Amino acid sequence: MLKSTLDKNLQGSPGPGLIFLVGFMGSGKTTLGRKLASRLGYLFMDLDHIFEAREGMTIGEYFSKYGEDAFRKRESEVLKNHKYPEHAIIATGGGLPCFFDNMDWMNAHGKTVYIKLMPKTLADRLQNEKDERPLLRERHGEALVQFITEKLEEREPFYNKANIVANGLSLTAERVEELLSFKATS
């Protein structure tokens, strides 16, 4: 059951250099990441876009050409080999934390925030924009909710390793700033 925003907090630490946003497709990593970056004066980066720029093709095309296993391997290399600036907010693909040691790597190299939402909410958000996402093609209505429910069950043990687990429904960039201890919590 989702309760209010804070499950874990970081107290008293200075502002981190790299902040990785994790969560299921449709959880709002990009929207929140952009807002947070502009509040903090950090760069915003999206690892899906970095992947696509490096490979010269969309993720959908990569999946079709090489399959998911190859995508996961390459995605992990992109995460670990990219040259990040000193300060950045990084939105990660929904599956990325759940493969190899990616989640531990992110926790070792920055702070991590899991944007948590219920399957039904995610399905409503994804219903109209799922064509770009290879894992969601051909899934509609109840089948989409069912798929998300099962995938989330598999993925949450990884997402829950984040430094902060936050309720995505009520989450604002300001609140994430507070949780990351950029400023005093009220």
Which residues are near ligand S3P by CB under 6 A? 25, 48, 59, 93-95, 133-135
Nearest residue to ligand S3P by CB is: 93
Decide whether 157 or 183 has the Cβ nearer to ligand S3P.
Answer: 157
Distance, in Å, from the CA atom of 24 to the CA atom of 21, rounded to the nearest integer, reads 10
Tell me the helices (H) and strands (E) count for the chain, helix number first. 8, 5
C-alpha distances (whole Å) from 161 to each of 51, 106, 126, 165 are 24, 10, 24, 8
Instruction: Give the DSSP letter of residue 27.
Output: S
Closest of 18, 19, 40 to residue 29, by C-alpha: 19
C-alpha 67: how far from chain center: 21
**Minimal distance, residue 186 CB to ligand S3P, in Å:** 31
**Cβ proximity to ligand S3P, 42 vs 71, nearer residue:** 71
> Please, which residue, 32 or 59, has the CB nearer to ligand S3P?
59
With 0-12 / 13-18 / 19 or more C-beta atoms within 10 angstroms meaning exposed / middle / buried, residue 167 is middle
Closer to ligand S3P at the Cβ: 135 or 173?
135
Q: How far is the CB of 10 from ligand S3P (least distance, A)?
A: 24
Report in angstroms how near the CB of residue 84 gets to ligand S3P at its nearest. Answer: 18
| Nearest to ligand S3P of 15, 74 (CB atom) | 74
Q: How far is the CB of 125 from ligand S3P (least distance, A)?
A: 11
Least separation in angstroms between CB 67 and ligand S3P: 12
